[in-house]
Chains A and B, each alone.
Chain A
Amino acid sequence: SQTIHQWPATLVQPVGSPLSLECTVEGTSNPNLYWYRQAAGRGLQLLFYSVGIGQISSEVPQNLSASRPQDRQFILSSKKLLLSDSGFYLCAWETSGGSEQFFGPGTRLTVL
C-alpha cells in the first residue's frame, strides 16, 4: 500500500531563517506531487506541483521554492521566512492520470 510522510510535524522558526520541509511517498512510482498551504481557518492554496524528477510548476509567486531530487521526494524550501509563511503545509500525491489526491499528515509552521 502507498503511504506519504511529511517531516517535521511541527516547526517554529524566526523570521529570516531558512526552511526545508520534506515529503516522501512510498509504494508507488512516478507520482504527481503537490505542496499546499492552509492558513488558519481557510481552504487549501496550491503552491507547487511536480509531474516528474526536476519538473516543478509554481502556482503562486512567493519566497518559497520546491525541488524534486528523487522520484518520490518533494522538498519545500525558503531562504528567508516571512511572518506570512506561517501555516499548515500539506503534501499530496496522486497517480499520474489519477483522480483523487492523497494527503500527508502535514507540517505546522509558525514563524515568529
Chain B
Amino acid sequence: AQKITQTQPGMFVQEKEAVTLDCTYDTSDQSYGLFWYKQPSSGEMIFLIYQGSYDEQNATEGRYSLNFQKARKSANLVISASQLGDSAMYFCAMRPATGNQFYFGTGTSLTVIP
C-alpha cells in the first residue's frame, strides 16, 4: 500500500529564515516520483518541485530544495530565505511509476512571521 505521512500540521518560520517540511512515504514500488505542492488560501495547488526515485542528486528549484533520503523513505522540502508569500499549506505527494494515482499527505500549514 502507498502512504504519505506529513507529521507537522503547522509550522512557523521567521521571515528570511530557512524551514524544513517533513515528508515520509511508504511504497513497495521501486520506481516512483515525489512531489511537493503549495496551496495558498485561494485554493489552487501549485507545483513546486519533483524528485525521481532514481535521481542521485537532490532536486532544486530556486529557493526550494528536496532533501531526498531514499533509504529512510523521506522527501523533506527545504525553503530557504522564507518570504511572507510562502505562507500556505504544503502537500507532499508520491506517484508510482505504474498507474495513474497520486498519493497525497495531509499537508503542513506554514506561517511566515515578519
Bound complex: CA of A101 vs CA of B101, how far in Å? Answer: 10
- Chain B residue nearest to A88 (CB atoms) is B43
Q: Which residues of B contact A57 (CB under 8 A)?
A: 100
Q: Which residues of B contact A90 (CB under 8 A)?
A: 43, 45
Q: Which of A51, A99, A102, A105 is B100 in contact with, Cβ under 8 Å?
A: A51
B43 touches A105 (CB 8 A): yes
Q: Which of A43, A49, A51, A101 is B106 in contact with, Cβ under 8 Å?
A: A43
B101 touches A103 (CB 8 A): no
Chain B interface mostly? strand
- Shortest A53–chain B CB gap in Å is 16
Bound complex: CA of A77 vs CA of B53, how far in Å? Answer: 36
Q: Which residues of B contact A46 (CB under 8 A)?
A: 101-102
Bound complex: CA of A65 vs CA of B114, how far in Å? Answer: 45
- The interface bits of chain A over 88-108 (1 if a CB of B lies within 8 angstroms of the residue's CB, else 0) are 101010000001111111101
B105 touches A43 (CB 8 A): yes
A44 touches B91 (CB 8 A): yes
A49 touches B100 (CB 8 A): yes
Q: Which of B47, B52, B95 is A102 in contact with, Cβ under 8 Å?
A: B47
| A101 in contact with B44 given A32-B100, A49-B100 (CB within 8 Å) | no
B50 touches A (CB below 8 Å): yes
A44 touches B43 (CB 8 A): no
